[in-house]
Amino acid sequence: MDLTFVATITLYVFLVLGALDGVFLHLIIFKLHREARARGEHLLHTARTFLMAAGVALVFALPTAGVALWCGLSCVLLDFGLGLWDAFVERESRAKWGGLGRWEASLHILLSVTHGAAVAVMLVSRPQAAWEMDQPWIMEGVQLWGESMLYTVVPALVGLGLVQLALMWPPQGARAGFSEGGPSDA
């Protein structure tokens, strides 16, 4: 079985679960962007969304090599680092709800496993020559199953990142009809 196919399917599982967590839970249910204590967490999620777009493009969608592949790996590693930082701030930012719930914590574990597995399998599937810095940025003859992600997933992630940014501005105190924690009852 082609490893790039396995990695691509695993990434799609991650992306669906990530949408459930990042869009449904964070933006719709908890409205983290409206919570003063969760502002930092929302900013981390926003940065991770843009890093994810770059990582998907450079590791999954394009047959990158050399500098481009290393840039993609750097985006992925930065994203993993921000994910770890996110885990540290969630307790404080979710204090209003008694911390992170078991269901969401379990979802985060599943997200970490599927994301890590997809990246690891995709990186292992690259030819050894792809890792050499003097290679052209795009390697000829390397087939990836995720090429369509360049036209679907990457723009969706960039769009989501822009929505997340827009939800942060203007700052909560300046938003008409909103108090510190959300919509006013007036």
Residues 6+ apart with CB under 8 A from 172: 34, 36, 39, 178, 180
- What are 43's two structure tokens? 């900013």
Work out the burial of residue 44: count CB atoms within 10 Å of its CB; fewer than 13 is exposed, 13-18 middle, 19 or more buried.
Answer: buried
Give the confidence band of 182 by pLDDT, cuts at 50, 70, 90: very low
Residue 4: its H or E element: helix 3-19
DSSP 40-72: HHHHHHHHHHHHHHHHIIIIIIS-B-HHHHHHH
Give the confidence band of 183 by pLDDT, cuts at 50, 70, 90: very low
Please indicate, yes or no, if residue 186 is contained in any of the structural domains: no
Please indicate, yes or no, if residue 101 is contained in any of the structural domains: yes
List the domain range (segments joined by +) for residue 112: 3-171
Contact between 118 and 72 under an 8 Å Cβ cutoff? The reply is: no
Average pLDDT estimate for 118-128: 96
DSSP 145-179: TTGGGGTTHHHHHHHHHHHHHHHH-S-GGGSTTB-
* pLDDT tens track for 7-55: 999 999 999 999 999 999 999 999 999 988 999 999 999 999 999 999 9
Single pTM value for the model: 0.88
% of the chain residues with pLDDT over 90: 77
Average pLDDT estimate for 150-171: 93
pLDDT for 185 equals 39
Residue recorded with tokens 């599937």: 125
Please indicate, yes or no, if residue 62 is contained in any of the structural domains: yes
Please indicate, yes or no, if residue 184 is contained in any of the structural domains: no
Is the model more confident about 43 or about 173? 43
Q: How many domains does the chain have?
A: 1
Please indicate, yes or no, if residue 125 is contained in any of the structural domains: yes
* pLDDT tens track for 131-150: 999 999 999 888 888 899 99
| Separation between Cα atoms, residue 186 and residue 184, nearest integer Å | 6
Give the confidence band of 184 by pLDDT, cuts at 50, 70, 90: very low
Distance separating the N- and C-terminal Cα atoms of the chain: 61
% of the chain residues with pLDDT over 70: 91
